[in-house]
Amino acid sequence: MRLIAATHNKNKLREFKEILGPLGYEVVGEDEAGADIEVEETGTTFEENARLKAEAIHAATGAAVVADDSGLCVDALGGEPGVFSARYGGLDTDGARVELLLKNLAGVSREKRTARFMCAIVFIGADGGLVASTGSVEGYITEAPEGENGFGYDPVFFSPELGKTFAMASAAEKNAVSHRGRALAGLAEALKYTPDN
């Protein structure tokens, strides 16, 4: 079954293909599917934003769609940047957003720098049936970026499970414990039991 991934992010698209491909889904990006739609993320939760994206692409194409929304929630900042992770402070680059995050945590002790990455994934089948899955991973924010891999806040997110930041981990290491990997695994499990499989 052909499945449109509502994303322009090549890293996300690759993860969707790796996990959903073995279930018989031919995953294509929205650009390739001719469904390049900009959806305003007005939801107050990750799941609401993922659902907005999935519903918009499904309405435009009638095809099966998968969409996600994810972000970093830092306890000492009251859960920020949260759903605004990709546009934190109105800044345009990952580096600038990481710099702002570290500035806002200046003087906060290691014990209070706890944080989690969260991800919500919404699947809408060609028949309009909806399945949602969430995943999260606990960690803390380092005082300076470490590592060259990954993207977003990966250089400052230390995972106790891995013993390193996400940016120091290989893609396989990160996917094994990441919020998106866990949400996708949950979705894959749910899809195994849907009527159209």
pLDDT tens-place string over residues 72-130: 999 999 999 999 998 999 999 999 999 999 999 999 999 999 999 999 999 999 999 99
Q: pLDDT tens across 52-74, in order?
A: 999 999 999 999 999 999 999 99
Q: What is the three-state SS of the chain?
A: CEEEECCCCHHHHHHHHHHHHHHCCEEEECCCCCCCCCCCCCCCCHHHHHHHHHHHHHHHHCCEEEEEEEEEEEHHHCCCEHHHHHHHHHCCCHHHHHHHHHHHCCCCCHHHCEEEEEEEEEEECCCCCEEEEEEEEEEEECCCCCCCCCCCCHHHEEECCCCEEHHHCCHHHHHHHCHHHHHHHHHHHHHCCCCCC
pLDDT at 193: 57
Q: What type of residue sits at position 54? A: A
pLDDT of 141 higher than 80: yes
**What's the mean per-residue pLDDT of the chain?**
91
Residue with tokens 């990160």: 174
pLDDT higher for 189 or 196? 189
Question: Which position among 31, 36, 68, 69 bears the catalytic label?
Answer: 69
Hey, CA dihedral for 60, 61, 63, 66, is it positive or negative?
negative
β-pair type (157-159, 130-141): antiparallel
pLDDT, tens only, 155-186: 999 999 999 999 999 988 988 899 988 998 89
User: What are the structural domains, with CATH classification, of the chain?
Assistant: 2-191 (3.90.950.10)
Tell me whether residue 68 is one of the annotated catalytic residues: no
